Amino acid sequence: MTAPTVLSIEGLSIRFGGLTAVEDLTFQVREGEVLTLIGPNGAGKTSAFNAITGYIQPSAGDIVYRGECLVGMKPNQIAARGVVRTFQKTSVFSGLTMFENVLTGLHLRGKQHPLAIMLGLPSVRRDEERLRAEAWEILKLVGIEARAGEQASALPYGELRLLEVAVALAAKPTLLLLDEPVSGMNPTETADFMTLIGRIRALGITILLVEHDMKMVMGISDRIVCLNQGRIIADAPPAEIQKDPEVIRAYLGERYVRARG
């Protein structure tokens, strides 16, 4: 039985002045799957992410998440509906520790009234304890709890990327969008990250990924959508994508032969 569709992209087009970054993009993401967007540099992958998460407005088309149209909503409104992303370049508070970064993320989802927080009511203290426990759980899940007290600015690149995922998890996603999460990571870190994606998915979180690391993409994706110059050229499981002549011509070619070798 196929899982229900949670995200439906219908005829999405994104134009920047005279440049068409995405043209008539249509695809669906099903509950619980890992769907990966691949394609050459400039194919429109990040632009599609930006439109889904409200950072840019599409020129045409529909973006529907669990029955609700996201077009026109602001990023925070979309995140509040469970659609949460990380960025191609890292974006955490460098002056805060890992723990504080995650705690801040959890607070943004908090439901306490500012006045209750100011007055230090018992309910606030209980909430605070619960949030701190939750922050630890997230750091443990991501595997960075040993360095929880270190400032983000002091972290090596790979752990900074993991922290970014932890902060995204603090926003309680039901759909998590990851834009090139392992770029700049070494092979060991990349392998660990693949395990992490398995753990995130086991929590019931659906994952939409953009990634150029083909070993990882072929290893963890249920389905792959390949873009070329803003258009879809294939939408299929990894085994079929690897054999698709158009995907090989436009993108995989040398890259995949290298990744396998």
Ligand X SMILES: Nc1ncnc2c1ncn2[C@@H]1O[C@H](COP(=O)(O)OP(=O)(O)OP(=O)(O)O)[C@@H](O)[C@H]1O
Residues 84-103 that bind ligand X (CB under 6 A): 88
From the list ligand X, Mg ion, none, which binds 19 (C-beta under 5 to 8 Å, kind-based)? ligand X
- Interface with Mg ion (CB under 5 A), residue total 2
Which candidate, 167, 196, 205, places its Cα nearest to that of 29? 205
From the list Mg ion, ligand X, none, which binds 16 (C-beta under 5 to 8 Å, kind-based)? ligand X
SS (H, E, C) 168-194: HHHCCCCEEEEECCCCCCCHHHHHHHH
Does position 18 interact with ligand X (CB under 6 A)? The reply is no
Q: How far is the CB of 75 from ligand X (least distance, A)?
A: 15
Nearer to ligand X, 21 or 98 (CB): 21
Site string for ligand X, 40-79 (x = CB under 6 A): -xxxxxxx--------------------------------
Contacts of 162 (CB under 8 A, 6+ apart): 142, 143, 144, 193, 196
Does position 38 interact with ligand X (CB under 6 A)? The reply is no
Q: How many helices (H) and strands (E) does the chain have?
A: 11, 10
* CA atoms of 244 and 186, how far apart (whole Å): 28
Given phi > 0 = left and psi -120 to 50 = alpha, else beta, which region is 251? alpha
Does position 50 interact with Mg ion (CB under 5 A)? The reply is no
Does position 46 interact with Mg ion (CB under 5 A)? The reply is yes
Does position 21 interact with ligand X (CB under 6 A)? The reply is yes
Which candidate, 101, 88, 95, 11, places its Cα nearest to that of 49? 88
Does position 228 interact with Mg ion (CB under 5 A)? The reply is no
- Interface with ligand X (CB under 6 A), residue total 12
Pair 176, 164: CB distance under 8 Å: no
Q: How far is the CB of 137 from Mg ion (least distance, A)?
A: 31
Nearer to ligand X, 47 or 190 (CB): 47
Q: How far is the CB of 85 from Mg ion (least distance, A)?
A: 12
Pair 103, 152: CB distance under 8 Å: no
Query: Taking every pair of C-alpha atoms in the chain, what is the biggest distance, in angstroms?
Result: 65
Nearer to ligand X, 106 or 208 (CB): 208
Site string for ligand X, 232-251 (x = CB under 6 A): --------------------
Tokens representing residue 159 in the block: 């752990």
From the list ligand X, Mg ion, none, which binds 47 (C-beta under 5 to 8 Å, kind-based)? ligand X
Nearer to ligand X, 21 or 106 (CB): 21
Q: How far is the CB of 57 from ligand X (least distance, A)?
A: 12
* Binding stretches for Mg ion (CB under 5 A): 45-46
Site residues for ligand X per CB under 6 A: 16, 19, 21, 39, 41-47, 88
